[in-house]
Structure 1
Amino acid sequence: MTEIPEDHPRHDSLVARHRIEEGVEKGLTSKQGLIAQGRGEAFDYLLGERTTESADEAERVAAASLLRARHPVLSINGNVAALCPDETIELAEAVGADLEVNLFNRTEERVRAIADHLREHGASEVKGLTADARIPGLSHERAKVDADGIYDADVVLVPLEDGDRAEALGAMGKTEIVIDLNPLSRSAQVATVPIVDEILRAVPNVTRHARELRESGADLEAVIAGFDREATLEDAERAIRSG
């Protein structure tokens, strides 16, 4: 990768682009993932490439939800694996969550490549290869999940999600945390906890909040109960429209 000076005004976005490009070359990310990255970057530009107060509050609620969960799972697709493997593994360790590979453009080769990539970055176990259960109501490959993973989970973090699976997981009664830079997307609109933030900021923020909540002995139920998802989405849309 071409070295990008840290003082370059587009440093973070350029690094993210190169990570996605490398992800395609390594067989982790589909070519459609390049388009998704560009779309998200456009929304982040409108947000001012910053974590808003409402997004930070959503990240705190996400942390509380993961800590309170009976069985939390972090769903990993190709873009997530390419962009933030270390950060995602760190979050899983902080909240005691499983990692599970789940792909729309699924091939066994890609699933194995992503699982191997996560293990190379320190993950001890990665689910998603067994695919012995299905999410009801979906006819495409993202319906395939592990029975002892996403299917059994009560709380699922689904960054960079497909809207129909987000809806289907909600219909199963799961608490669904979505990271999506478009507050009008179906994923964000149906999420229990919508986080309108860039994933490279959002995941470390959730980890930070999880550690702080655990250390302080905060009342997790109170943190979750005080969350207003509609106000969070409205604030994100207002920030995008107003600049």
Structure 2
Amino acid sequence: MNTYDLASGLLEIVPTAFRYRRENPVLIGEGEWRELPTEVPQLGPIRDEASLIVRELDTALKHNNWRPDRNLIAFPDPGLWSLGSVEQRAPIRKIHLGYLEPIRRFPVIERVPELVVAFLTKIPGWDDYVKREYHPGVGWHYHYLSDPRKRSDVLIAWDTRWQPPAEAPDDLPPPPRPLFGEKHGEGKADFSAKPWLWGDRKKESMHDVCAPDLKKWPIHEFRCASNHAEPVWPSSARLTSMHVPVSPPAKLSGKKKQRR
């Protein structure tokens, strides 16, 4: 089988959450909360078959001395290429004038050789299947919907890097973990949301309906809001910056410089 047939066959058998629409969404009542599911999708058989094809394709490309005619997009951080994905969705929650659907995503193959990724870019629709990942899978987050069957292009996520203040007044409740919103998946959504028009009642209801999840799941199980995300609630929140490690100072040479 030639390399193009291998690549085309690979994309045919690998599922992708970016082309999936759930036919019968589950909706819970306004003000109700239901715990997020703990079981994970079983990907064993499809993962084994897809991994075998990836290895065959990688071997064939190297044997043919194939080289991409253009470089892959350069990324400054050490993310890995994943292939295929399955979404796990929890029952949809009612908020003020809208809905939120909790979702997490599991890649079918977590690491794909860059040579294979470069070749897959020649297949139409490849970008629905190949994604840049910075950690295995994408943790729990929330999609905003205008009704249970219409997904918007706005994603809601916690600031997972936020830390409560070390010293808080005893007579005041602890500050809430900030919740953020961001544009995501434009072109694949059913409609474009306008979060800048949301009122405080709607934004606070988003926080209220999602906050109980934080008591059941460790914070690393959630997707962190992206750097371009805007605050949902509290509306004055600012996203916690990523810690940038500081390189240690260079050691001085033991030799003294000669004076000229």
Normalising by structure 2, report the TM-score: 0.24
Structure with max Cα Rg:
2
Q: Looking at secondary structure, tell me which structure has more strand per residue.
A: 2
Normalising by structure 1, report the TM-score: 0.25
Q: Looking at secondary structure, tell me which structure has more helix per residue.
A: 1
Highest relative contact order (Cα 8 Å, sep 6+), 1 or 2? 1
